[in-house]
Chains A and B, each alone.
Chain A
Amino acid sequence: MPLTVNGQPTPIPDPPTLERLLAVLRPPLPCAVARNEEFVPASVYAKCELTDSDRIEIVYPSAGG
């Protein structure tokens, strides 16, 4: 099973790090990331190794009340 990004199956990048995944996906806005429902600080993206069971969520600024 490939990893999922916001629910969508997504190939694991090479090298398999969160930093590389974001470089491939190129988020259009400032974003933050959770892996398996745990926040991942930007400072550790390069060290965060991904596996095929990971569920990645990327969130963006949005209107809110």
Chain B
Amino acid sequence: MLDSLTLYGRAFSSRILLGTARYESPTQLLASIRAADPAMLTVALRKQVQGGTQAGQSFWNILRAANRALLPNTAGCNTVKEAVNTALMAREVFETDFIKLEVIGDDVNLQPDPFGLVDAATELVRQRFRVLPYCTDDLVLCKRLLDAGCEVLMPWAAPIGTGQGPRNPRALRELRERLPDVPLIVDAGLGLPSHACQVMEWGFDAVLINTAVSRAVDPVRMARAFADAVHAGRSGYLAGPMPVQELAVASTPEMGRPFWNEAPRFTAQESA
């Protein structure tokens, strides 16, 4: 059965989006991309060519060699104007209408600014972008972003780069339940494959990971572990988990067990 991820009408066979930052070398980045097999790679724009011209050229060559859809971000933008202009520049450089919209409202925990996010999303949708907003798990914010024309949402699990895993599982699960038809990608704060597996079991459509892979001791192995976890979680979700019970229910049939007719082994008299 084909189980593809569809974002703005574009189908992807993978349910991982992989960030390209903080790897030790271009070689390690490329190997991690191959191991994670991501649908998209997130990228950014900066005024400096990172690591000098040669490293910058190497990074650009890897992006081309990886042959993945690119998802530019507006990382570091604190205002609507910055975010919109960064998105316009990203569209020109990376030749894609997809944009991971970040408008940061707090410099300490890098929490999204919900008000700026809605305003920037409104403007970018008007300019025919396909906006993937990095947002919190606030239901009303998410509804406003949908009203603005976003067709995909990317709620956080925890602040960027913390690796804490889902801080507020109840809110994330309610978001999933309340917005059953919207592609939801958990972005930021995942640290372990089990975190990714868990949110996929809850029915999220994909995960976006970066630091969890690039800052692992063995990033390539961790990339593969995340790919396995996402597959497992997605399969678990599709398989339909059993309902949780309050009391024990014997899994082995009672009927026909040896000594079936004996009196109960534990009686009030014995235990007295």
In the bound complex, do residue A60 and residue B73 qualify as a contact, i.e. CB atoms below 8 Å apart? no
Q: Are A34 and B85 in contact (CB under 8 A)?
A: yes
Complex contact A64–B50 (CB within 8 A): no
The CA-CA distance from A60 to B43 in the complex, in Å, is 10
Cα of A57 to Cα of B46 in the assembled complex, Å? 10
Distance A34 CA – B237 CA, assembled complex (angstroms):
45
Whether the pair A61, B43 counts as a contact (CB closer than 8 A) is yes
Asked if B20 is an interface residue, CB under 8 A from chain A, the answer is yes
Is A6 at the interface (CB under 8 A from chain B)? yes
Closest residue of B by beta carbon distance from A57: B47
1/0 per residue A40-65: CB within 8 Å of B? 01100000000000000111111111
Interface contacts (Cβ under 8 Å), in number, total 101
Given known contacts A64-B42, A64-B73, A59 and B93 CB-to-CB distance under 8 angstroms: yes
CB <8 Å contact, B85 and A64 = no
**CA gap between A7 and B57 in the complex, in Å:** 23
Contacts of A29 in B (CB 8 A): 49, 53, 56-57, 60
CB contacts (< 8 Å) of B59 on chain A: these are 61-63
Complex Cα distance, B56 from A62, in Å, reads 7
Interface 1/0 per residue, B7-43 and A, CB below 8 Å: 0000000000001111100000100000000000011
What residues of B have a CB within 8 angstroms of the CB of A34 in the complex? Answer: 85, 89
8 A Cβ contacts from A21-38 to B = 28-34, 37-38
Tell me how far the C-beta of B103 lies from the nearest C-beta in chain A, rounded to whole angstroms: 15
Are A61 and B85 touching (Cβ within 8 A)?
no
User: What is the minimal beta-carbon distance from B128 to any residue of chain A, in angstroms?
Assistant: 14
- Identify B50's interface contact among A33, A37, A38, A62, CB under 8 A: A62
A33, A41, A65: the one contacting B211 at CB < 8 Å is A65
Q: How far is it, in angstroms, between the C-alpha of A6 and the C-alpha of B47 when the chains are bound?
A: 7
B72 touches A30 (CB 8 A): no
Smallest Cβ-Cβ distance to A58: which chain B residue: B47
Report yes or no: B89 in contact with A30, Cβ–Cβ below 8 A: no
Q: Least Cβ distance of A62 to chain B in Å?
A: 4
A63 B88 Cβ-Cβ under 8 A: no
Contact A62 B89, beta carbon cutoff 8 Å: no
Quick check: B93 and A37 within 8 Å, CB to CB?
A: no
Contacts of B93 in A (CB 8 A): 30-32, 59-61
Query: Smallest Cβ distance from A2 to chain B, in angstroms?
Result: 18
Given A63-B22, A64-B20, A64-B21, 4 new contacts (CB under 8 A): A30-B60, A33-B89, A37-B81, A65-B22
B residues contacting A by CB (< 8 A) are 19-23, 29, 42-50, 53, 56-57, 59-60, 63, 72-73, 75, 81-82, 85-86, 88-90, 92-94, 160-161, 208, 210-211
Q: Which 6 A-B pairs have the closest CB atoms?
A: A64-B44, A65-B19, A32-B89, A65-B210, A62-B46, A39-B88
27 interchain pairs, CB-CB under 8 A: A7-B47, A28-B53, A29-B56, A30-B93, A31-B93, A32-B45, A32-B88, A33-B89, A37-B82, A39-B89, A59-B46, A59-B89, A60-B49, A61-B43, A61-B56, A61-B59, A61-B94, A62-B44, A62-B45, A62-B56, A63-B20, A63-B29, A63-B44, A64-B19, A64-B42, A64-B43, A65-B20
